[in-house]
A and B are shown apart, each in its own frame.
Chain A
């Protein structure tokens, strides 16, 4: 099993450009998440998808959109990149059963994004 994979690993954008970060998991998990990691701030949730066909905003959703393409794939789109979106982006997945499961999340290797 590859676990959670993310592409690309690195990206440099100019202000105003758009891009999509791809994430896929092969663990048949229901829930998927996008986080951003900034120094001294831990991880902050951008969007999550509790199950296929649903998405919801997290703590810092402004400037981002997501698509849960199918059970395996969850993409994050920056429509008009800004320097404040320079960060490391992590995708994660977890299994949720019956709404009362407290399973850990599995993380991808991250995408390091720089917006100039």
Chain B
């Protein structure tokens, strides 16, 4: 069964410093990986995805993620954090076990706090 782990409930980083939000996955077959962000009282917003190709994926708002097949990881990164990046971040993998349809398995989320 597909699963996603986000080992850190909370990540704190100072504004201007680089940030990393970690994600590891377990899938059968090829992994299709996604990152979403949720701001308070809002729905999830798509940041980026890895389907195939270059292991470094660039997305919205200056975020990028590095796919590492040997470590089964897909960590989210940003070179210089902003206070406005403070939010809840979800890693997700497409659930291939259900066949047709875009079903996803989501991680539990990591709360990022960027301190001024």
Contacts and interface: CB of A to CB of B under 8 A. Distances in A.
A107 B101 CA distance: 16
A92 B46 CA distance: 12
A42 B90 contact: yes
How many A residues touch the partner, as a band? 20 to 34
Interface residues of B, number: 26
Interface string B42-76: 11111001010000000000000000000000000
A96 B100 contact: yes
Interface of B: 4, 9, 32, 34, 36, 41-46, 49, 51, 90, 94, 98-104, 106-109
A4 interface: yes
Interface in A94-116: 94, 96, 99, 101-110
Given A108-B43, A109-B43, 9 more contacts: A31-B101, A40-B108, A42-B90, A43-B104, A45-B104, A96-B102, A99-B100, A104-B36, A109-B41
Nearest to A58: B103
B43 A104 contact: no
Contact of B43 (A40, A42, A56, A107): A107
Contacts of A74: none
B101 A103 contact: no
Nearest to A4: B43
12 contacts: A33-B102, A33-B103, A40-B9, A40-B108, A43-B44, A50-B100, A90-B43, A102-B32, A104-B34, A105-B46, A107-B45, A110-B43
Contacts of B32: 102
A28 to B, nearest CB: 15
